[in-house]
Amino acid sequence: MTSAPRTADRYVDHAGRIGAASPTYAAWSRSVAGSVPVVAVLDRVPPTKRQPELVFAVARRLGADPADPGAIVDVVLRDPDGFVDELAAATMQANDPQRMAAVLPLFAEVDGPIGIVDVGASAGLCGIPDRVTLDYEITRGRDVGSRAGRSGADGVGAGAGPDRVRMVTSRASGSGSGSGPASSTGAGSIVLRARASGWVPAPFASPDVVARVSLDPSPIDLDAPGAFDRLVEAVPPEATDRTTLMRAAASVARTVPPVRVVGGVPDDLERALAALPAGCTPVVVTMGTLVYVPGAARQEFIDSVRRLGVRWIAMERTGILHGVAATLPGAVDPADPAAFATVSIDGEARAVADAHGTAVRWLGRGT
């Protein structure tokens, strides 16, 4: 078994990955990697608490200005014990609703009515798969499949022309095309766009979601003062399109508020499932959450899902779920940014995607 990368190396790697999207966070990553005292402070917390996004969110909460490359060093070293305490207690789920573009077609494989348990839900922005208009821009020369089935059902229309597939899951608003990378089509729906290749699922019926449960150690109530500011602490300052989409999703999520269960996995999964009403199909959803769960607890969560016989839809970093990784084609390279995450249902890989679900390669037909 390979050991976890040293903290400094981890931040060097992160600077390389994020540099094009966020020069400010790349500069912070280099500042951390280059400061022996800061690295020593971070080494006082478990590896799952050293995630750059979590560290940066805590630093911003404590007043660090991302525009200042040295601000993160200053805030950590100003009160190392206090920073360790904040970091140890912090939880972070970026709650990027764009990731739904990668998992949305998988809901067509679940018989309804559906009850969602959103693990690491934060504010629940990824718990609204029935409030989305998804436009897939299809890479030329690839197939549009029918594995998801149910094409032509209520509320679903195919996109105009062979280069686009449109999937409308919201019955609450029209299917307007929106503008920019993402926009709202009204109070009941948000618009997501992504590039899709491979064996792309066909349009499908809107999932019949009858209940939502958010399971999170520190769930965010969107109606609380400052809630949205807390939600976007981990989002790079340059990612204004992500912030805009999150704001639109927050507006939609307020119309279908979940039952909030304070806790985490694996310990509180059964309690969260018990909050669903009788007669629905439970679907556990994890979206970039399990990387923050220590390895032994992560496996215990997976074992619990199997033991309980509930459905499980996931978009998690490629390679951290060994059973899922075993179902990937050998040609998938976990180091490839386009395969940063694996999209799966019930432990079976169905697609790979970039970190935020803006590009999705669906697997099948030998791909």
pLDDT in tens, 322-336: 999 999 998 899 889
At 148 the pLDDT is 43
| Weakest mean pLDDT among 17-26, 91-100, 207-216 | 91-100
CA atoms of 17 and 309, how far apart (whole Å): 37
Sorted by sequence, the CB contacts under 8 Å of residue 20 that are 6+ apart come out as none
For the cut 90, the answer to whether the pLDDT of residue 171 exceeds it is: no
CA atoms of 307 and 223, how far apart (whole Å): 36
Name the 3-class secondary structure at 177.
coil
Helices (H), the chain: 7-18, 23-33, 36-42, 52-61, 71-78, 80-89, 100-103, 227-231, 240-253, 269-274, 295-308, 322-325
Does residue 225 or residue 75 have the better pLDDT? 75
For the cut 90, the answer to whether the pLDDT of residue 301 exceeds it is: yes
Global pTM reads 0.80
List beta partners, residue 342.
Answer: 316, 352
**What count of other Cβ atoms lies within 10 Å of the Cβ of residue 64?**
20
CA atoms of 355 and 338, how far apart (whole Å): 8
The predicted-structure confidence for 76-86, as pLDDT tens digits, reads as follows 999 999 999 99
Mean pLDDT of the residues in the chain: 86
Q: Which two tokens stand for residue 219?
A: 């769930």
Q: Are 190 and 252 in contact (CB under 8 A)?
A: yes
Give the end-to-end CA distance of the chain in Å, rounded to a whole number: 28
At 165 the pLDDT is 87
**What count of other Cβ atoms lies within 10 Å of the Cβ of residue 222?**
18
CA atoms of 144 and 163, how far apart (whole Å): 10
Region 224-244 average pLDDT: 87
Sorted by sequence, the CB contacts under 8 Å of residue 86 that are 6+ apart come out as 58, 61, 62
Sorted by sequence, the CB contacts under 8 Å of residue 225 that are 6+ apart come out as none
